Structure 1
Amino acid sequence: MDAFEFALSMELDGKAYYENLAGETSQPGLKKVFLGLAADEQKHYDTILAIRGLGSVGMADSAVLEDARGIFRELVEEKRNSPAPSTELLAYRHAMTIEARSVKFYEEAARLETEPAVSGLFQRIAEEEKKHFTVMDNIYSYMLAPHTFLAWGEFSNLTEYY
């Protein structure tokens, strides 16, 4: 399997994972975040498919990080008192691991790519995957301890995952 095929498979798996999380949550705000992440993974898939077929293509920016910030403000205002079930926490932690691996994969693909436009797009996808990690890191932190969650984390623990 070449890098393009692997990337396509990885994006479809990520999309399915986020759609599954969206289907399992009862919180409308989290459902919106997960569906936004799934839509981004589809966008990445479409971009990679186009790169493979055409050699160069553009990609629109993601708004999922900005949308998630607003949803976190709503969650904090609700002052949710019960922690998330451990299965949810494991799912969120797993998503963080997947996103960290995606970042590493796309950064390496960008480094190895000889076509500057394709390398740049791989780097942009890596940057979006970092945003996805930040979203999941914040969801995990909030669900782990809603009483001690202070604010949206601008900096994440991405480096601990790879």
Structure 2
Amino acid sequence: MNSIEFAIKMERDGEKYYREQAENNQNNSLNAVFLLLAEDENGHAKLLENEQEKITYDLAENEVLADANNVFKDRGDFKNKFEKIPDQLDVYRMALQMEKDSIELYEKFFKEATDEHTKKLFGYLVKQEENHFKIFDNLIALVERPDEWVEDAEFGIREDY
């Protein structure tokens, strides 16, 4: 299995995982986020398949991160809506790790690529996966902060929430 075939399989696995999570979150805003991510992973797989088949493709910028942020805008108390699902934080952490692994793999493939066209594709995929990583990093912060955040001068300077 070459790097392109491996990357296609990884993207299809990611798409499947995000669709399963969308199904598990049908009654909340995360359904839309997981569906956006699943579609993004599907798009990445198609790009890779086009590369494999030597079909021309366009590396258009993707607005998944902006769309995901819009899903949570004006939603009120985020924590109360999602704490009913005890393993949800584990899902976010697993997805975060998957995205981190994808970034590392695509960076490796980028370094190993011998032609500029393939190098450009893997550079693009690194940026896309970094956006996915930010989504889950932010989701984890949104869920964890209410339990960890203490607003009191005696606890020192805190970053903006």
Q: Is the Cα–Cα contact under 8 Å of residues 14 and 41 in structure 1 kept in the other structure? A: yes
Q: Determine helix, strand or coil for the equivalent of 2:29.
A: helix
Which amino acid counterpart does residue 143 of structure 1 have in structure 2? V
Match of 2:123 in 1: 123
Q: Deviations over 1:96-147 (max 9, x none)?
A: 0000000011111111101101101111011000000100111122123457
1:74 shift after superposition = 2.8
| 2:43 equivalent to 1:53 | no
- In structure 2, the gaps of 5 or more residues are 150-161
1:85 paired with 2:79, answer no
- For 1:141, the aligned partner's letter is A
Corresponding residue of 2:135: 135
SS in 2 for 1:85: coil
Q: Is the 8 A contact 2:14 2:38 kept in 1?
A: yes
Aligned equivalents of 2:132, 2:123: Cα separation in 1? 14
Unaligned runs of 5+ in 1: 149-162
The answer to whether the 8 Å contact 1:19/1:38 transfers is yes
**Structure-2-length-normalised TM-score:** 0.83
SS of equivalent to 1:47: helix
Post-superposition offset of 1:51: 0.6
| Residue 13 of structure 2 corresponds to residue 5 of structure 1 | no
Q: Which of 1 and 2 has greater Rg?
A: 2
**Offset, 1:25:** 1.1
- CA-based RMSD of the aligned residues comes to 1.9
Question: Percent identity between the aligned chains?
Answer: 30
Amino acid at match of 1:18: Y
The residue aligned with 2:14 is 14
How many residue pairs align between the two structures?
Answer: 147
CA distance in 1, matches of 2:123, 2:52: 15
| Per-residue deviation, 1:63 | 1.1
Distance 1:143 1:68, change over 3 A: same
